[in-house]
A and B are shown apart, each in its own frame.
Chain A
Amino acid sequence: MLGVAVLLLVPSVLSAQKKVERRLALGMEGAIRISNMVGSVIVHGWDKDTVLVRGSLAPGDQLFSGGGYAGAKMFVESANERDPKPSRLEVWVPSRVRLWVKTATANIEVTGVNGGLDLYVVSGSIDVTGNPRELNAEAIDGDIHITATSPWVRAKSASGTVTFQGASSDAAFSTVSGPIKVTGGVFERTKIETVNGDITFSGHLDRSGAFDFDSHSGAIDIAIPTRTGASFSVVSIAGKITNSLSKTSPVAGRFGRGAELTLDANGGGAKVTVRTFKGPVTLRRAM
């Protein structure tokens, strides 16, 4: 379906880092895949139906690129797979494309691309700014930083940090041990889970929204704006609940361990469910 025309670059004998520059035609609603294992991938959105890539390649590395108007791809091939050296790609793409980027340790930065984003790193970092209509960012031990408004967001890292500043109607953030920090708003449906990372949430909650916070031993700190209506249901099997939103005290859980708390703030509204095994939970007003 996609015609793949692969262009070979003849490596220059003299250079240390080798500079390359290429252009490809790509439709505004097209798709592009970029792959570079080590180094960095920086992507900007623009309003031309062209892809421009400027690369600074490690000695011996080659940049392959090709594709048609509907879909394009480019990847860096290392001179030595066993010991890849950093190559840097800076790419301009039509702002509404679907963008897929995959690296190992290379950092990914995406700005102003508003189509769908799929970004995968192993231990590089992911930074996204803009208003993508969908955003899926995954890392194993890299950090993910998102400053964006997007109807649909998924950000997962096992041991890296996840931060989100923006708004979303359907967002899920997940780590195993990395901290998760979510600010901004308005949020409608949000699911934040960790095993032992710390969760900090201070955002605006939509009245009709549903919010799930889950941890095993990580702390959960939720700060809501003064006049926001929210109905909280907090269950902790063996941890402590601190409520600074109202005078309601948590009741002791079963067998005298843990605690439970149900409260309506400002007449109720957004449905907030907090579950933790033994992490401390704090509910408070946003400053």
Chain B
Amino acid sequence: MTHEVIRHLLDDYVTGELAEDARPAVAEHIAGCEICRAEVDGLQAVITRAAALPKSIEPPADAWQSIRATIERDKEAVMPDRDRSASVFWRRPSAIAAAIVLAAVLSSAGTALYLGARNDAQQNQNVASSVTNSTATASLAAFTIEENAYLRNVAVLQDMLDQQEASLAPETVAQLKASLRTIDEAILEARNALARDPANKTLIEMLSGSYRQKMDLMRRTAEMTRGS
């Protein structure tokens, strides 16, 4: 074999991937060829150093948090065919049509509660604070905390809805489930985007907003079906 041919075999020769029967010819050539010898030495050095690189490098300490948050959210997402929201929440969907328990509506205790509760509701919904509170959750760390709170609240609200004795018309049930699904799909999309871009404050704010919307819808539904 000529020098020109052997030059192209040197890589495989060094890495041990060259066919057995070609090795002697290459070895012999190298012994007598300075250029090829230098080449082999250089290749050997690179390859040895590459193999000596650490196989494992410690990732940033906070990397796991974001992964965990995404996984927890995945677990909580209400997917279209998820059993939980289907059978348990609407216990008697077609048996009772458009019925709402009236007894609880009219207790005098309920009236007093209504009159007093109005102010609290108003304070919670102060637009001024919600317009400016976007900065509160703009950091990923703060958002993770908020997200965990959301996951707990959603679980509690889901239990509440599950426990309602009363039921709604099937069309309304379907409409409500569709709305929750719409919000969940939006949450999932934003989450995926956030996983690719964890420092994106806008995404964080959007996700916070979606969480609030979902909780608000569940809360108001629970209140409406419960009577007050």
Direct A–B touching, Cβ under 8 Å: yes
Please give the distance in Å from A268's CB to the nearest CB on chain B. 17
Given contacts A120-B224, A176-B213, A177-B179, contact A189 B127 (CB under 8 A): yes
Chain A residues whose C-beta falls within 8 Å of the C-beta of B186 in the assembled complex: 195-196, 216-217, 277
Stretch of B13-21, B154-162, B204-212 contacting A (4+ beta carbons < 8 Å)? B204-212
Stretch of A15-23, A43-51, A78-86, A242-250 contacting B (4+ beta carbons < 8 Å)? A78-86
Given contacts A116-B118, A156-B220, contact A195 B182 (CB under 8 A): yes
Chain B residues whose C-beta falls within 8 Å of the C-beta of A4 in the assembled complex: 108
Number of contact residues on A: which range applies?
35 or more
* A202 interfacial by beta-carbon distance below 8 Å: no
* A171 interfacial by beta-carbon distance below 8 Å: yes
Instruction: Identify which of residues 96-119 in chain B touch chain A, using a CB-to-CB cut-off of 8 Å.
Output: 96-100, 102, 105-106, 108, 111-112, 114-115, 118
* A143 interfacial by beta-carbon distance below 8 Å: no
> Do A82 and B130 touch across chains, with their CB atoms under 8 A apart?
no
> Do A71 and B115 touch across chains, with their CB atoms under 8 A apart?
yes
Instruction: Identify which of residues 125-183 in chain B touch chain A, using a CB-to-CB cut-off of 8 Å.
Output: 125-128, 130-132, 168-169, 171-172, 175-176, 178-179, 182-183
Instruction: Identify which of residues 215-262 in chain A touch chain B, using a CB-to-CB cut-off of 8 Å.
Output: 216-217, 235, 237-238, 254-255
**CA of A116 to CA of B108 in the docked complex: distance in angstroms?**
20
Chain B residues whose C-beta falls within 8 Å of the C-beta of A141 in the assembled complex: 172, 175-176, 179
Chain B residues whose C-beta falls within 8 Å of the C-beta of A172 in the assembled complex: 125, 127, 130
**CA of A196 to CA of B183 in the docked complex: distance in angstroms?**
9
**CA of A255 to CA of B224 in the docked complex: distance in angstroms?**
44
Please tell me the number of chain B residues within 8 Å of chain A, measured between CB atoms: 53
* A98 interfacial by beta-carbon distance below 8 Å: yes
> Do A254 and B172 touch across chains, with their CB atoms under 8 A apart?
no
Indicate with 1 or 0, residue by residue over A51-67, a CB within 8 angstroms of chain B CB atoms.
00000000000001000
Q: Can you name the residue of chain B whose Cβ is closest to the Cβ of A75?
A: B106
* A28 interfacial by beta-carbon distance below 8 Å: no
Please give the distance in Å from B120's CB to the nearest CB on chain A. 12
Please list the residues of chain B having a beta carbon within 8 angstroms of any beta carbon in chain A: 95-100, 102, 105-106, 108, 111-112, 114-115, 118, 121-122, 125-128, 130-132, 168-169, 171-172, 175-176, 178-179, 182-183, 186, 189-190, 193, 197, 200, 202-203, 205-206, 209-210, 213, 216-217, 220-221, 224, 228
22 inter-chain pairs at a CB distance below 8 angstroms, sorted by A residue, are A1-B112, A81-B102, A82-B95, A83-B97, A104-B168, A104-B169, A122-B169, A141-B172, A154-B125, A156-B216, A158-B176, A158-B179, A159-B178, A170-B127, A176-B183, A176-B213, A176-B217, A177-B179, A195-B182, A214-B206, A216-B206, A277-B186
Q: Would you list the 6 A-B pairs with minimal beta carbon distance, nearest first?
A: A216-B186, A158-B179, A176-B179, A141-B175, A81-B99, A189-B127
